[in-house]
């Protein structure tokens, strides 16, 4: 293992992550790219190809291709789920990879508990401008403090090396979402689902698809339980629960499972799509890309607009982090900065990733993201941007909104008028989604205890 690695933390996270986080977005182990040594003016003449590892949803083929197009430098992606990526870096990949992508449910193992990643100075990211980055990232305690309390402090801890200075990003954000509940409008009235409590409603007994990932399932149960006076606690501590709170949530979920509330549990992304697409389950805590894939299979699906308060959206973000010492030793720090700044903070990426329902930190920069362009390509255009971020309808009528696919719709690059029969984005405008965050996803302090107790649920 590399310098600064802690064997106790390696064993802790290698074991705990495998129980706590799922394979995401169909991300099995895979390596892509080739090894051609090409120099580029303005970038260091580092080892080629640039090496990047992470889950598919954070490190897609299109992002690789865009980097290579912009720099004429080969990039190789090594794709794996979150626990595999986590173990890969902690187990020595911090020396052989240049960049790693994870999300906030697992980032702490890399950025806080082991010395395997390096901070990114904001002066190396000219597109990181506090005036054009969402206050969700520049002022999270001011934006979220009233609704999630101390959880907003943990968001700052994920973001910054020094909160007062704010000149080095511990974990630069590139993509994020507001996870909710997907359901089939053939069987459940559209708009009737807005709380996590729906997953435990007797009305849907035996028809619920439930996530068997401890770090996700337990918070969903705790939001329901706290809102219904079934557990003691404060909203500010929900994302880092005590052992007593973990016991209460797991005991509750074991009982739900034994009583037949769940049609099935899932950990693999593909299974969540298949079970909803086949209508074996009609409601579940699936991810937004899965809801869109259900639609692409021909089965109607809608993604809930969650309520304000305790049972709001489960918010997370993913990003790109330079490895330590890999990026520096391989002379690829500038290349990683280019991947973050020019590819992901540019005009092209927001439209690309919105096809899976995901948002970007720089969306307030409408001159760039909505109607602009830069070296990465064109921005989203007014119709796509207004649909994605402002909750406007599409310019063209949509016959069946519950089968609408943003990747196949032809978005206008010219200003136009929303159609009264156009489709609106599930979950509404982004400012309303932010205002309805009920939970910020992190890897909890009591991860060892959580994963130990979680075996009671998986074996029930």
Q: CA angle at residue 181 from 180 to 183, to 5 degrees? A: 150
Task: Output the CA torsion 181→186→189→193 (10° steps).
Answer: -10
Residue 377: left if φ>0, alpha if ψ -120 to 50, beta else—which one?
A: left
The helix/strand/coil state of 344 is helix
CB distance 69 to 26 below 8 Å: no
> DSSP letter string over 376-442?
TEE---HHHHHHHHS-PPPSS--S-GGG--TTTS---SS-----TT----TT--HHHHHHTEEEE--
Residue linked to tokens 């010219």? 414
Q: Which residues contact 296 (CB under 8 A, 6 or more apart)?
A: 405
Q: Which residue ranges does the chain devote to CATH 3.40.190.10?
A: 7-177+314-345, 181-311+434-458
pLDDT < 50 regions, the chain: 1-41
431 Cβ contact partners less than 8 Å away, ≥ 6 residues apart: none
Q: For 273-294, how does the pLDDT look when each residue is reduced to its tens digit (9 = 90+)?
A: 999 999 999 999 999 999 999 9
Are 322 and 101 contacting, i.e. CB atoms less than 8 angstroms apart?
no
Q: Is the separation of the CB atoms in 394 and 387 below 8 Å?
A: yes
pLDDT in the model for residue 44 = 67
pLDDT digits (tens, 9 = 90+) for 412-447: 999 999 999 999 999 999 999 999 999 999 988 998
Q: DSSP label at 200? A: G
Q: What DSSP designation does 198 have?
A: G
Residue 82: per-residue pLDDT: 85
Strand 208-211 and strand 283-284: pairing? parallel
Whose tokens are 């619920």? That residue is 208
Query: Two tokens at 200?
Result: 């435990």
Residue 374, helix vs strand vs coil: strand
Domain at 181-311+434-458, CATH homologous superfamily: Periplasmic binding protein-like II (3.40.190.10)
Fold of 7-177+314-345: D-Maltodextrin-Binding Protein; domain 2 (3.40.190)
Q: Return the biggest CA–CA distance within the chain.
A: 64
Q: Strand 50-54 and strand 373-374: pairing?
A: unpaired
User: Who contacts 69 (Cβ-Cβ below 8 Å, separation ≥6)?
Assistant: none
Q: Are 285 and 179 in contact (CB under 8 A)?
A: yes
């Amino acid at each position: 293992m590399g310098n600064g690695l802690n064997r106790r933390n390696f064993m802790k996270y290698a074991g705990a992550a495998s129980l706590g986080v799922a394979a995401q977005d169909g991300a099995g182990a895979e390596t892509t790219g080739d090894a051609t040594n090409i120099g580029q003016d303005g970038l260091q003449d580092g080892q080629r190809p640039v090496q990047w590892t992470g889950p598919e949803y954070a490190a897609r083929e299109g992002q690789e291709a865009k980097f290579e197009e912009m720099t004429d430098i080969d990039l190789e992606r090594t794709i794996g789920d979150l626990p595999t990526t986590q173990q890969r870096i902690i187990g020595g990949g911090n020396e052989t990879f240049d960049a790693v992508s994870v999300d906030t449910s697992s980032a702490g193992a890399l950025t806080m508990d082991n010395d395997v990643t390096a901070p990114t100075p904001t002066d190396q990211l000219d597109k990181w401008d506090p005036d054009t980055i969402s206050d969700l990232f520049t002022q999270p305690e001011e934006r979220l403090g009233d609704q999630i309390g101390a959880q907003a402090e943990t968001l700052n801890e994920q973001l910054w090396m020094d909160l007062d200075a704010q000149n080095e990003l511990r974990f630069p954000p590139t993509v994020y979402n507001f996870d909710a509940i997907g359901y089939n409008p053939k069987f459940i009235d559209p708009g009737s689902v807005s709380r996590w409590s729906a997953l435990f409603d007797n009305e849907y007994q035996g028809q619920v698809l439930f996530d068997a990932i401890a770090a996700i399932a337990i918070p969903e149960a705790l939001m329901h339980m706290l809102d219904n006076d079934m557990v003691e606690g404060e909203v500010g501590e929900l994302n880092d629960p005590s052992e007593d709170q973990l016991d209460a949530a797991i005991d509750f979920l074991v009982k739900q499972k034994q009583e037949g509330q769940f049609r099935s549990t899932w950990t693999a992304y593909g299974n969540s799509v298949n079970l909803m697409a086949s209508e074996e389950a009609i409601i579940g805590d699936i991810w937004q890309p899965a809801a869109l894939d259900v639609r692409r299979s021909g089965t109607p699906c809608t993604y809930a607009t969650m309520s304000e308060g305790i049972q709001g959206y489960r918010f997370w973000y993913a990003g790109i982090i330079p490895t330590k010492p890999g990026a520096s030793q391989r002379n690829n720090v500038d290349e990683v900065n280019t991947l973050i700044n020019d590819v992901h903070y540019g005009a092209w990426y927001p439209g690309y990733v919105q096809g899976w329902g995901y948002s970007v930190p720089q969306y307030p920069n409408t001159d760039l993201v909505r109607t602009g362009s830069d070296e990465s390509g064109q921005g989203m255009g007014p119709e796509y941007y207004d649909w994605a971020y402002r909750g406007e309808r599409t310019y063209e009528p949509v016959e069946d909104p519950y089968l609408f696919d943003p990747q196949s719709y032809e978005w206008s690059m010219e200003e136009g008028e929303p159609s009264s029969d156009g489709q609106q984005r599930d979950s509404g405008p982004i400012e309303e989604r932010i205002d309805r965050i009920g939970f910020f996803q992190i890897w909890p302090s009591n991860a060892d205890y959580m994963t130990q107790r979680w075996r009671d649920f998986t074996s029930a």
